[in-house]
Structure 1
Amino acid sequence: MIKIFNHYLHKRTLQQVFFDLGLVIAAVLAAIVWRGEDWASAVSLVGHACLLSLGMLVINTALGFYQRVHNRSISQSRARAILSLVLAIPLTFLVFAVFPTALASRESIAMSAMIGFVLVMIHRVYVAHSTPQSMMRHRVLVFGTGPRAALVGKTLKNEDPHVDVVGYYASPNEAESEVSAWGILSKHKSLTDTALELEVDEIVVALMERRGGSMPLRELLDCKLHGVRVVDVATHFEKTKGQIRLDSVNAGWLIFGDGFSQDGLRTVVKRLFDICSAIVLILLTLPIMLVTMAFIVMESRGPIFYRQERVGFNGRLFNVVKFRSMRTDAEQDGKPRWASAQDDRVTRVGRFIRKVRIDELPQLFCVLNGSMSMVGPRPERPYFVDQLTRQIPYYAVRQSVKPGVTGWAQVKYHYGATLEDSAEKLQYDLYYVKNHSLFLDVVILFETVGVVLMAKGSR
């Protein structure tokens, strides 16, 4: 894992992204050389190549080609690759139409870009279904054999195919074991000797109890001095799953650890980013919003927009605005309710616009007036916030940043309508509050495109 602007990215993912960006640019440059174009007049095409590469990156991210873990068959990956190429064709002609070039061979160069896209997709499908080489694998030793160690091992095996869990090293004070006996390493050797003999890259300390001499601090320090990375459970889940687990953190870890910075420069940059991106998206989606308004009026009587009080930054109340997707008598009894999977209160138009997230578009105006941000935790109703704050620790921390139209929890977890779902989503919200940056905001917006295209988690 590599930490970039406080956000963890897998090293192999970065390699794949840069390889794909470079392949398209190289295809365009090769066409320039082959056609014998004057380099002085062809400099502008470097900009075209960069735009095409970024566009391809957005498409591939949206289609899930940079996910470390997936359950797609090779046929499904090929189908997504074909869809990616179908989307890349109009993108290529759009770039050359919006930014025309005087070169006579621009059609040939555009075709070269398409060849680059084809090569990228062939490589994407191959990488998605290839087994990582042994030299690229990450060897992890879990220190502990209890429930927390079992959870760490399960997460590593499910979330990262590039990791080898070499075994579990039992603490002398652990009374019970919840991992397979075959995975427990012999205690005849010290932790340091075991780690060096197995060529371990990382040790995850997963103990339920750390007091009473259960942690061999000297041996862990020796491992670190020998180049073995040593992390606790909270850091492990933060970098592996992009969440801060409620069962593995305490107030001290949150206070004394890094992150959770709310400096003035970050606030100004985020506000400028919100204004610019909201204006661009409003202009791009204005025709869609007008058509949606017409369909809402035709289907049922009532207001086009739906306004509801939500809890925002520092607990301040504001009115969120959406396209109305439910009947006007959806909460006739006055009791707030979460939306369910097959909610009979949703209209026919509402079911469609909720599925593709069109109902969220009016929130862009909330971004412009400053009550919301483009990226942040989902704004909840005061009734639910009061309830969840009493029942879930650290729930109020999510109110230290502005709520967002989209967010880390929204792209990582499906729609939640229970206390357990809210606790699970809070773990992703805490990760965002701790590590939020402009870079993470851009990553979330890229992933939001995929969520919308695949209609994931809508209710």
Structure 2
Amino acid sequence: MILRKWEDLPDNMKKDSVKKYYDSLYKKRLSLLVKRIFDVVIAIFTFIMLSPVFIIISIAIKMDSKGPVMFRQVRVTQYGKQFKIFKFRTMVNNADKIGAQITAKNDIRVTKVGNILRKFRLDEVPQLFNIVSGDMSFVGTRPEVVRYVDKYTDEMMATLLLPAGVTSEASIQYKNEEQLLANADDVDEAYVNDVLPKKMKYNLRSIDAFSFLGEIKTMFRTVIAVINSYDKSGDSFMVVNSDRKFHRIND
């Protein structure tokens, strides 16, 4: 993973508010290279190991609803590059054209199989292809659609210094994002004005404190978070708010 020279960054990223994050990452270029090697090796190994799972999930999706196995959507990654993300389809075909870009709790567009895949984040597995291609990394800011990136502040643009990620600290803290948006009158507006800025605080903090070891820890914490998605009672979710205090949202 090579960090571009400052003068080679897109003009909309060459801001003073981005420079401090760039300078921090520039000092860690060796760690960024190790990160890229790790991503490619582990992604290929994981794909080989999960090949049978790919087949089973693909069959389940086709049996459950009409439409393709894969969902592809244009997202934004490093330096503002647009790419198509790979995900197992968890919603009815063309769901992005008949509703909000963000999914809220009890969204009727989510299929039965899709609901299971989303609970355990299995829909994210095909992003191994995006990792190998270099558009994504295991850990990094989740890739947003263009319309949301257009709402970024100057400082938020710093998150585009690195490739988008499958998981992140923000993903862990907001793993139940769908329920947070469940009661919003306008899901897109609620996401842009409330959820996105709070998630970005975690993303920017992660970039400023970047370390390869820290990213390994984030990967393990993500696995633990998925396993503990539901509390023992099974009738409510544990959600972390911006103050890192716990509150419940009834199922």
Contact residue 261 and residue 434 of structure 1 kept, 8 A: no
**TM-score by structure 2 length?**
0.74
Q: Does 1:304 align with 2:72?
A: no
1:206-217 alignment, distance < 5 Å: none
User: Could you tell me how far apart the structure 2 residues matched to 1:253 and 1:396 are?
Assistant: 7
Contact residue 336 and residue 383 of structure 1 kept, 8 A: no
Q: Does 1:413 align with 2:174?
A: yes
Contact residue 325 and residue 353 of structure 1 kept, 8 A: yes
Q: Does 1:384 align with 2:148?
A: yes
Q: Displacement, 1:342?
A: 1.2
Contact residue 313 and residue 403 of structure 1 kept, 8 A: yes
Q: Which residue of 2 aligns with 1:271?
A: 36
1:20-419 alignment, distance < 5 Å: 255=20, 259-261=24-26, 263-333=28-98, 336-387=100-151, 389=152, 392=153, 394-416=155-177, 418=191, 419=193
Q: Does 1:428 align with 2:202?
A: yes
User: Could you tell me how far apart the structure 1 residues matched to 2:132 and 2:17 are?
Assistant: 36
Q: Displacement, 1:257?
A: 11
User: Could you tell me how far apart the structure 2 residues matched to 1:319 and 1:455 are?
Assistant: 28
User: Could you tell me how far apart the structure 2 residues matched to 1:265 and 1:295 are?
Assistant: 42
User: Could you tell me how far apart the structure 2 residues matched to 1:324 and 1:355 are?
Assistant: 13
Gap runs ≥5 in structure 2 = 1-15, 182-190, 231-238, 240-251
User: Could you tell me how far apart the structure 1 residues matched to 2:18 and 2:68 are?
Assistant: 48
User: Could you tell me how far apart the structure 1 residues matched to 2:154 and 2:221 are?
Assistant: 28
Between structure 1 and structure 2, the one with the greater Rg is 1
Q: Aligned Cα RMSD in Å? A: 2.4
Specify which structure has the bigger relative contact order, considering alpha-carbon pairs within 8 angstroms and separated by 6 or more residues.
2
Cα 1:253/1:299, change in 2 over 3 Å: closer
Amino acid at match of 1:429: N
Amino acid at match of 1:405: V
User: Could you tell me how far apart the structure 1 residues matched to 2:59 and 2:115 are?
Assistant: 16
User: Could you tell me how far apart the structure 2 residues matched to 1:339 and 1:455 are?
Assistant: 17
Q: Displacement, 1:268?
A: 1.7
User: Which of 429, 434, 445 is equivalent to 2:219?
Assistant: 445
User: Could you tell me how far apart the structure 2 residues matched to 1:299 and 1:454 are?
Assistant: 27
User: Could you tell me how far apart the structure 2 residues matched to 1:296 and 1:420 are?
Assistant: 33
Contact residue 32 and residue 212 of structure 2 kept, 8 A: no
Q: Displacement, 1:256?
A: 9.3
Q: Displacement, 1:348?
A: 0.3
Contact residue 306 and residue 323 of structure 1 kept, 8 A: yes
Superposed CA deviations along residues 204-227 of structure 1, whole A, max 9, x for unmatched, are xxxxxxxxxxxxxxxxxxxxxxxx
Where 1:331 maps in the other structure, the secondary structure is helix
Q: Displacement, 1:258?
A: 7.5
Amino acid at match of 1:370: G
Cα 1:314/1:253, change in 2 over 3 Å: closer
Identity %: 32
Amino acid at match of 1:379: P
Where 2:158 maps in the other structure, the secondary structure is helix
Superposed CA deviations along residues 24-67 of structure 1, whole A, max 9, x for unmatched, are xxxxxxxxxxxxxxxxxxxxxxxxxxxxxxxxxxxxxxxxxxxx
User: Could you tell me how far apart the structure 2 residues matched to 1:317 and 1:258 are?
Assistant: 24
Gap runs ≥5 in structure 1 = 1-250
Cα 1:293/1:277, change in 2 over 3 Å: same
Contact residue 17 and residue 155 of structure 2 kept, 8 A: no
User: Could you tell me how far apart the structure 1 residues matched to 2:40 and 2:18 are?
Assistant: 34
User: Could you tell me how far apart the structure 2 residues matched to 1:305 and 1:432 are?
Assistant: 30
Superposed CA deviations along residues 329-383 of structure 1, whole A, max 9, x for unmatched, are 31335x6521101111000000000000110000011101111111100000001
**TM-score by structure 1 length?**
0.42
Contact residue 408 and residue 428 of structure 1 kept, 8 A: yes
Where 1:373 maps in the other structure, the secondary structure is strand
Amino acid at match of 1:353: L
Contact residue 353 and residue 359 of structure 1 kept, 8 A: yes
Q: Displacement, 1:424?
A: 0.9
User: Could you tell me how far apart the structure 1 residues matched to 2:21 and 2:93 are?
Assistant: 48
User: Could you tell me how far apart the structure 1 residues matched to 2:198 and 2:21 are?
Assistant: 23
User: Could you tell me how far apart the structure 2 residues matched to 1:407 and 1:273 are?
Assistant: 16
